[in-house]
Chains A and B, each alone.
Chain A
Amino acid sequence: MTYHKLLASTAAVAFLAFGAPSFAQTVVTMNTVQIFGTIDPAKISDYTDYMAAVNLYDGLISVDSSGNLIPELAESWVVSPDAKEVTFKIREDAKFTDGSPVEASDVIYSIERLLRINQGPANLFADVLTPGSVTAVDAKTVKFTLAKTFAPFLTTVPAIFILNADAVKPNEGADDAQTWLATNVAGAGAYSLKSWDRGAEMTITRNPDYYKGFLEGPIDTVHWIITSDEATVKSLAASGELTMTSQFQSPETYKALVDMGRFKMVSQDTGTAFYLKLNTKVAPTDDIHIRRALALATDYDTIRQVIFPGGVLSTPLPKAFAAYHNGDIPEPKFDMEGAKAEIAQSKYAGAPIPITLGYVAGTGFEEEISLLMQSNLEQLGFVVTQAADPWNRITEIAGKVETTPAVNQIFFGPTYPSPDSMFFTQYHSKAAGTWASMEWVNDPDVDAMIDAARATGDTAEQAKIYKELQAKLDDMKPDVYLLTQTVQHAMDNCLTGFNAVPMQSFDYDFTRYQWTCK
């Protein structure tokens, strides 16, 4: 060590000792409305889980804001002509946070563990990957051999986060290290877990030695505060503690924050759709006329312009998937007379129609939408029951047809950048019984179309199938298309780098953010 370096490190120690690093540290404090369920890469499932995981772990590849796959641990990849073999070449300099190199064996270990535990993203690979599907060509090359053609396979690879096998194995215990990885991180991510009070906060800090390096003005610490309470968000912002909001604040809160002068609004269209999912297997939404009536009795303009900002959604697939979107299907219209006519044709005509509107308890805009629906539906002779349930309760009642309410407000965004993500998870009978498939479509034709699209590597063919599928689903009307989400954040003027990514919450990968103030 040269004298010069020694001096520098002494200075660093001095900083730590005096506990005055504030001027040197860039801290981003962000609120998030749901708790972090898990940080185990084999278990992460929802939007919030991924928010932590993309920062703590790296995958072989990642996704950019246009939905393109970009290198991460893998510097390149080759797909075989029949799309059944994919070979990744791992970066020479790729290393885990403990300094050890990332190798093919780590990838194999991560995937086999994921398949064994069979939770979280494992469902993406059901029937596609089996134990032994992934093999090491050499220490830095890994080959995936698919059990069958699965067109969107490559787009699902970013969901696989690579574990440091050497670090995990000693802690495997009897449960495949599920206990250990519930609170420990062993990956190659740009950030390390510093503290985590489940349900209250999580703090991660930057690994200065991250193999990919950082942009100018990197974010040193990210601090998530879990609160959906608008008053708390505002007072955090007012006291200077908050750097960026979640994307679920009310318009009033955004306005209040912008009025403070320190914040700017960042809005972007996304591939996330917001639906009223209609349970097609219970009364009264088992009747196509009632479902059509609901679509006609929805005041889209008020919802999109006043309650929750968003763009037009005219099919189950948002326009963000431009190549696959069926533009022939007309935009839904608010038409109470038309709704009346549809009800008259239904088997429930002539008597008061009981109907249950479900939404996530505590979300202001969902309650407003629910009230708006109720006031319109009551004019049409419905007898409305509101059912506000906490999110975990919704995931539970979605498990059975009988407990799923007739109408449910659900956001669904692509979990990987492929239309398959939108269709399979929501409409395929194999994915039935989750919050994403509260329609209970269970239609063999729909299943067949989704499977057909998966089985072909030809994009044009896929587009054709998906457009047909949209037309078919629009005929069945299992959903009311409320809007495509315009994601909004109030962000500190100094913070840049948010670009919506059509995959989970990959847009919160903080290596993509910069602090532009000195």
Chain B
Amino acid sequence: MEFLSFLIKRVLWSVLVLVGLSMVIFVIARVVPGDPARMALGPRATPEQVATMQAELGLDQPILQQYALFIEGLTRGDLGKSLLTERPVNDDIRETFAATFELVLCTMILAMGFGVPLGMIAAYWKDKWPDTAVRFFAIFAAVTPSFFLALLLQILAGYVLHLLPTTGRLPNSMEFEASWTGLLLIDSLISGRLDVFGEALRHLLLPALALAAATMGQMARLTRASMIDVSRQDYIEAARAFGIPEWLRVTKYMLRPSFVPPLTIMGLEFASLIGGAFVVEMVFAWPGMAAYGIRTILQKDLNAVMGVVMVSGVFFVLVNLAIDVLVGFVDPRVRIRGRR
């Protein structure tokens, strides 16, 4: 029950964050010096056309009313019309989000799947060569600019070694409609298209790796620190004194409590992961929301920019909510005390 109230509190908190976020975005969007209506119509537009467009966008109304309009749209899930694509921003984001989601999901799986074991290895052999190697890797992964890594991977794997494709999600010649989830890896399996699955995976590998490296390093670092911290706890000493074998101490007694801080921080780091996606998607021509975001930002496509930032924020908040639930499962203290 405490957990439920904890969850409710967290959901309310998330809503609050989203309201704040909407205000921030709105303020940024309204300080644009150029006239979005004029830009949308192009240089040949007449003043009347501009005025009509301004009215259409609600730009002629008082600022509070504009915000109210914006919020009202948001609650209906309506992010307005993109000036760039002349389509509802919703549609644009819906189409591009799946690609970003797939990329980010695989990135997180990669980051966790390799980062956590690496951290465990380093902690177990603390100050021995595996530890040194992992720390070395982690620090390099953390400080290598993601765009630089993306370029290096692209050139190395795609251009020099011809190992993997370097742009897009699927080869041009491949026809496949991802109509269930939008995630190619899942939809291809549902429809039994193993060839599509293979290609999608091949296309996903480099961008996911470029994006995952920093987080992977961070996870390895945090897991290591957390494991070492836990290994100094009295209850690990106690488990030793009670004759619990070492392998069990490491895999069970240490791992589970060690898992909480990296997981929590993973949630917070998620924002920088989304930021990284902006760069990586550009380099790999990944047809995702981040690439869409960059394009619309450069075109000063206000509705789209607000939509992309808002959706990134919602994504962030939801991931953190999911992580809270996960942390709750891993750590009864959170479940019972209702905070972390």
Contacts and interface: CB of A to CB of B under 8 A. Distances in A.
* A touches B (Cβ under 8 A): yes
Interface of A: 19, 22, 25, 27, 29, 35, 38, 45, 119, 123, 178-179, 182-183, 197-201, 203, 221, 223, 225, 227, 229, 231-232, 234-236, 238-239, 241, 390, 392-393, 395-396, 398-399, 433-435
B174 to A, nearest CB: 8
A223 B39 contact: no
B172 A223 contact: yes
B172 A29 contact: yes
B77 interface: no
Interface stretch (B18-26, B124-132, B162-170): B162-170
A241 B171 contact: yes
A395 B42 contact: yes
A71 to B, nearest CB: 31
A200 B287 contact: yes
Contacts of B159: 234-235, 238
Given A231-B154, A232-B285, A198 B84 contact: yes
A-B pairs with lowest CB-CB distance, top 3 = A235-B166, A235-B158, A199-B295
A119 B44 contact: yes
Q: Which of B43, B85, B299 has most A Cβ within 10 Å?
A: B43
A183 B92 CA distance: 13
A396 B86 contact: no
B151 interface: yes
B173 interface: yes
A22 B171 CA distance: 12
Given A201-B168, A396-B34, 12 more contacts: A27-B172, A182-B87, A197-B287, A198-B92, A200-B291, A221-B172, A227-B285, A235-B154, A235-B159, A239-B162, A241-B172, A393-B300
B86 A182 contact: yes
A123 B46 CA distance: 13
B165 to A, nearest CB: 6
B292 interface: yes
18 contacts: A22-B173, A27-B172, A35-B84, A178-B86, A179-B86, A182-B86, A182-B87, A183-B87, A223-B172, A232-B285, A235-B166, A236-B167, A241-B172, A390-B298, A392-B298, A396-B34, A399-B43, A433-B43
Q: Which of B86, B95, B195, B283 has most A Cβ within 10 Å?
A: B86
Q: Which of B171, B173, B283 has most A Cβ within 10 Å?
A: B173
A363 to B, nearest CB: 14
Interface residues on B, range: 35 or more
Interface of B: 34, 38-39, 42-44, 84-87, 92, 95-96, 151, 154-155, 158-159, 162, 165-168, 171-173, 175, 195, 282-283, 285, 287, 291-292, 295, 298-300
A238 B84 CA distance: 32
A392 B39 contact: yes
B36 to A, nearest CB: 10
Nearest to A182: B86
Interface of A is mostly: mixed
Contact of B44 (A123, A179, A390): A123
A393 B43 CA distance: 10
Nearest to B166: A235
A392 B299 contact: yes
A27 B173 contact: yes
A200 B84 CA distance: 13
Q: Which of A27, A232, A433 has most B Cβ within 10 Å?
A: A232
A120 B300 CA distance: 21
A433 B295 CA distance: 25
Nearest to A223: B172
B155 A231 contact: yes
Contacts of B84: 35, 198-199
Given A183-B87, A225-B285, A238 B162 contact: yes
A393 B297 CA distance: 12
Contacts of A235: 154-155, 158-159, 166-167
A235 B152 CA distance: 12
Given A27-B173, A390-B299, A231 B87 contact: no
B172 A232 contact: no
A27 B171 CA distance: 12
